Amino acid sequence: MNEMHVGTRELKNRLSEYMRRVKSGQTIIVTEQGRAIGQIIQLKPLLEDRLQAMVSAGIAEWNGQKMKPYRPAAVNRGERQVSDLVVEDRQ
Q: What is the spatial distance between Cα 70 and Cα 84, in angstroms, rounded to a whole number?
A: 24
At residue 39, what are phi and psi to the nearest 5 degrees?
A: -145, 135
Long-range contacts of 28-34, Cβ-Cβ distance < 8 Å, separation of 24 or more: 28/3, 28/4, 29/3, 29/4, 29/5, 30/6, 31/5, 31/6, 31/7, 32/7, 32/8
Task: Give pLDDT, residue 70.
Answer: 84
Q: Which residues of the chain have pLDDT under 50?
A: none
User: What domains are defined for the chain?
Assistant: 1-66 (3.40.1620.10)
What pLDDT is stored for residue 34 in this prediction?
A: 92
The verdict on pTM exceeding 0.85 is no
> Which pLDDT score is estimated for 1?
58
End-to-end CA distance of the chain: 50
pLDDT at 66: 80
